[in-house]
Each structure stands twice: as structure tokens, then as C-alpha cells.
Chain A
Amino acid sequence: NAGVTQTPKFQVLKTGQSMTLQCAQDMNHEYMSWYRQDPGMGLRLIHYSVGAGITDQGEVPNGYNVSRSTTEDFPLRLLSAAPSQTSVYFCASSGGSGANVLTFGAGSRLTVL
């Protein structure tokens, strides 16, 4: 039972490059989210999805795109990376009777030079 799997664990980008952080869950959860963690800022919601084909913006969506073509996958795209996007990114999912209880992945540490 893998839970929430994020890849890659570490990534270094140059300013202006694009990349996709992958997130997959095997719990058949309908809800999925992306958060970023920065020192002194806690966890801030970037985008979330309430089901396949449905996404919405969170607190800090600028510079990020998401799509949800399947229940299992929720990739986060950075179209033109900026140093301000250096952070640790967490994907999470939830569903069923415990929909408020998010299960998090182990995180992806991104550095933008």
C-alpha cells in the first residue's frame, strides 16, 4: 500500500525552465491537493481537486498549473520557474468519510537557481 507517491524527491532548475512534479495515490481518494512549505510560512495551498476533471486555485496558485485527468494522478506544472518557487512541495489526498484528513506524500524539494 504505497499511499501518496511524489517524484522526484529532489530537483534543481534554472530560472525559466519548466518541469512537472508528479503525484500519484492508490487509495481511490477523490480529493487531491498541492502545498508548498516555506520557513515561517507553514503549508500553503497551491491548487486542489475535488475529483477527476475538476481543479481549483488555493492560496498561492500563481506560476503553477494542474490538471486531473484520472483519479490517481495530480501533476503540478511549473511553466517558467522562478527563484521564489524554491520550496518543498507536498502532495496530499483524502476521501470517503475522512475527507478532511489529508494523507501527505514525502515531499519534493525544488531549488530554482
Chain B
Amino acid sequence: DQQVKQNSPSLSVQEGRISILNCDYTNSMFDYFLWYKKYPAEGPTFLISISSIKDKNEDGRFTVFLNKSAKHLSLHIVPSQPGDSAVYFCAAAVIYNQGGKLIFGQGTELSVKP
């Protein structure tokens, strides 16, 4: 049973438009959520995170929204750039600031076309 789910394997967006990547989770004990970005042949790199006590966190072009009642989070990228083309993973943690044990979704491959 997948506790963190990304139901869209791929997403294609035009350069300059908004990219919205979605993630659902089932475990109500998750209290910290993260997004990672992964290029081919590289390890994932941290992008942005949000604590369960917030509903929005913004960092430049990237904004993460959390809807706890729906157990849903989303990543918005505005404006999208060709360099944003990568696989995006959402991840969740049960215990805030106890590391090592993130649960990841399946990933969504974003393609931003010029």
C-alpha cells in the first residue's frame, strides 16, 4: 500500500506557463512534506518543503500548498522554464526533524517545452 501517491506519471507544459504537480497521502501521522527534483543519472535534490502546521510555502518560482483535510499537496512552478524538465518526487515524514525515513511517491516527469 502506497502511503504517498503521485497519480500523474507525466506532465507537459509550455514554457512560461504554470506547472502544477499533485501528491496525495494516506497516513494522517505525516507532519512534514518535501518536494525533490531529479535529473537523469543524478541523485534527487531538495526543492521545497512544508510543515503540517502551514498551508503554503513559497520559494521564488516554487510554491507548495498543503490541504490536510484532503490529504493533498501540490507544487506550483510559475513561470515554468525548460530547465525545470525533470522528475519530481513528493515525500513525507512522520516525525518532524528526525531524519533518515522519508516516504516517497512514484514521481511525476515534467517536460517544459520551449
Q: Please give the residue numbers on chain A whose beta carbons come within 8 Å of chain B beta carbons, in ascending order.
A: 4, 29-33, 35, 40-45, 48-50, 56, 58-59, 90, 92-95, 97-107
How far does the Cβ of A40 sit from chain B's closest Cβ, in whole Å? 6
CA distance A98 to B99 in the complex (A): 8
CA distance A20 to B103 in the complex (A): 24
B9: nearest chain-A partner, CB-CB: A40
How distant is the Cα of A100 from the Cα of B97 in the complex, in angstroms?
A: 5
Q: Are A107 and B42 in contact (CB-based, < 8 A)?
A: yes
Check: B78 CB closer than 8 A to any chain A CB.
no
Smallest Cβ distance from B61 to chain A, in angstroms? Answer: 19
Contact of B111 with A by CB under 8 A: no
Given contacts A4-B43, A40-B106, contact A97 B100 (CB under 8 A): no
- Picked from A31, A35, A101, the residue with its CB within 8 Å of the CB of B104 is A35
Report which of A29, A45, A107 forms a contact with B41, defined as CB distance below 8 A. A107
* Residue B89 lies at the interface, judged by CB distance under 8 Å to chain A: yes
0 or 1 for each of B66-91: is its CB under 8 Å from A? (1 = yes): 00000000000000000000000101
User: In the complex, how many residue pairs between chain A and chain B have their CB atoms under 8 Å apart?
Assistant: 84
List residues of chain B with CB under 8 Å of any chain A CB. 4, 6, 9, 32, 34, 41-46, 49, 89, 91, 93, 96-107
Contact present for B106 and A100 (CB under 8 Å): no
Contact of A101 among B4, B42, B43, B46 (CB under 8 A): B46
Cβ B106 vs Cβ A99 within 8 A: no
Write the chain A residue with the least CB distance to B98.
A99
A40 to B87, CA, bound (A): 12
Query: Can you list 27 A-B contacts (CB < 8 A)?
Result: A29-B99, A42-B6, A42-B89, A42-B104, A42-B105, A42-B106, A43-B44, A43-B91, A45-B104, A48-B100, A49-B100, A50-B99, A50-B100, A94-B100, A95-B99, A99-B97, A99-B100, A100-B32, A100-B96, A100-B99, A100-B102, A101-B34, A101-B46, A102-B44, A104-B43, A107-B41, A107-B42
